[in-house]
Chains A and B, each alone.
Chain A
Amino acid sequence: MAFISSGYDPNEPMKNRITDIGPRHYEDFYPPVIAKNKGKWLYHEILEPGVLVHVAESGDEVYTVRVGGARLMSVTHIREICDIADKYCGGHVRWTTRNNIEFMVDSKDKVAPLKADLASRKFDGGSFKFPIGGTGAGITNIVHTQGWIHCHTPATDASGPVKACMDELFADFQSMRMPAQVRVSLACCLNMCGAVHCSDIAILGYHRKPPMLDHEYLDKMCEIPLAIAACPTAAIKPAKVEINGQKLNTVSINNSRCMFCGNCYTMCPALPLADKEGDGIVIMAGGKVSNRISAPKFSKVVVAFLPNEPPRWPSTTDTIKKIVEAYAAGANKYERLGEWAERIGWERFFERCDLPFTHHLIDDFRDPAYFTWRQTTQFKF
């Protein structure tokens, strides 16, 4: 494994340096039928779960086969996607915002062989490589964050719970029996790199223990002013401790003010907060981003805490199944999960979903809390 230089010279980093060129131009990558008909599409139709046709003014058609993908993906898998795209799609492929992969062909007769090929491919472990689905009034792929695979402040894993949930929801990825689309998202801590706060169902990692204080090493590893400044609730103060007769500079934490965000750990590795029992999952529900019928909505916390249960997170997947089934049974056609909950009332939502209501679900965080309490005599028994 000899080091091979790209041409970069570490002694002269600016030599031949190319910067600020931006991404590749999108027009380099359009399939011909897209390039030709861009901006001139007339209508579309979902022919079956995972298969769409778009019809252009010119009469041209593009057929799209949508497949699910784990966003965590190897180059071997991407090359297999390329092989398929080369064989059927003229060397073009696209990804959706929700980590699905779209194979496009320009005539109907090309759809069946493409579908058959995609559906036939499985990993050695037995799972589908390219399950077809993720369209219309169903449950599409989960958007998610990094989790334990590569993040430093996660309160849960991402790829693991997502795999566990999608296995449970798989039938609804491949069908369209829901009243409207159901968007599930996961963020592995409250910082929400993946903005899950407007999802029909959000899975959120949450820490419940304030950081530990590695006093002996804190001043050696961290710059104390930065750790103090990192805290969004001003819970961290400078302090002194005596260890083995030595006076050391360190910090103290007002634990009751800690909101478990981990920002101090980012700045100061001597303040770790991850914990097996402390960390787990919050379930939120009823958000949406679409302006359709009603305005976009935030998701609401409906389960304050579920434990992390690797490898398959059964409490989390069971809870989500319960919410999905209650929604599917009770909502009107076109009604999103949050619209359904608002129509029947949240008191009914907990009853229908068979979820306990606890004091943790009543907002007590700053001013907006008041607006979530009930200021009317109208409620249901």
Chain B
Amino acid sequence: MDEVEARKTIVATLEGKKGKSKFYLKDFYAMFPEEKPRTIKNIVNKMVGEGTLEYWSSGSTTLIGLKGVGKQAGAEHED
């Protein structure tokens, strides 16, 4: 799979979702039904490392979204 294309698909899909900024890994797998979950997981985690995506953890589960997007981003004004 072309990783560059995959990144574009991920960003475009997330940008297209209205009213929701955080997603389960499963939602990323669904964007690439032909690919192994492990491959997608690795790309998603790489995109976090590059600063495109960020994690949001409830402590028990982890969600992933575009960095800085969403209603809770910066809600606590700690910066």
Contact = CB atoms under 8 A, between A and B. Distances in A.
Interface of A: 14, 191, 220-226, 263, 266-267
Nearest to A17: B49
Contacts of B59: 266
Contact of A222 (B49, B58, B63, B71): B71
A225 B49 CA distance: 27
Classify the secondary structure of A's interface with B: helix
Interface residues of B, number: 13
Given A223-B20, A226-B22, A266 B58 contact: yes
A221 B19 contact: no
Given A226-B20, A226-B22, A221 B60 contact: no
A131 to B, nearest CB: 32
Contacts, number: 26
A267 B24 CA distance: 13
Interface of B: 19-22, 49, 58-60, 63, 70-72, 75
A70 to B, nearest CB: 22
A11 to B, nearest CB: 12
B30 to A, nearest CB: 14
B75 A224 contact: no
B71 A221 contact: yes
Contact of B19 (A14, A220, A224, A267): A224
B70 A223 contact: yes
A267 B63 CA distance: 10
Nearest to B75: A221
B58 A221 contact: no
Contacts of A221: 71-72, 75
Contacts of B70: 223
The residue in B60, B71, B75 that gathers the most chain A C-beta atoms within 10 A of its C-beta is: B71
B60 A191 contact: yes
Contact of B20 (A14, A191, A225, A263): A225
Given A223-B19, A226-B22, A267 B71 contact: no
Contacts of A263: 58
A191 B59 CA distance: 12
Contacts of B49: 14
Contacts of B58: 263, 266-267
Contacts of A223: 19-22, 70-72
B19 A225 contact: yes
